[in-house]
Amino acid sequence: MEVKGGRELIIAMPVEIERKFLVSGTQWRQAQGIPYSQGYLNRDKERTVRVRIAGAKAYLTIKGISRGAARTEFEYEVPPAEAAQMLELCDGPILRKTRYTLQYKGFTWEVDEFLEENKGLVIAEVELRAEDQPFERPVWVGREVTGDPRYYNANLVVHPYREWRGKDGSV
């Protein structure tokens, strides 16, 4: 909240509303993928601070705690050379993946194909304006994993997919 001229102004924090799903098949491979490298400067359960290099661009992102499919998110573009130096400061290994962006029935879907320690994991995300906003899933979108902390990128850094895959019979 900010007070200006004797009046209170309420400044809304940016909110990301995102739903995540496991992916099956290969029909999503129609787009050109972009290599991503990302690490975490903070992985506290109340907030994460991430640095990401996505192709020729780089970002510093601060995310709040997830409440359902929503959480606060602040993202700032930073020079790629500085992001590369920040990656060296990260706690834990660097997460690597290839991201594919596709349009389907009015929605943008981002498909992440994870590499290295998380190879074999493919997750699709769709951002919404409201948690209950209706949308149609492409045929390659499978089981929803929104809210399952195993699939959070910050957790995949320290608990990679290859370590837990198949242990509970659900993946």
Active site residues: 40
What distance in Å separates the CA atoms of residue 81 and residue 58, rounded to the nearest whole number? Answer: 9
Q: What residue ranges in 65-120 does DSSP mark as E strands?
A: 70-77, 95-104, 107-114
Beta-bridge partner residues of 50: 40, 61
Cα-based angle 49, 122, 169 (whole degrees, multiple of 5): 105
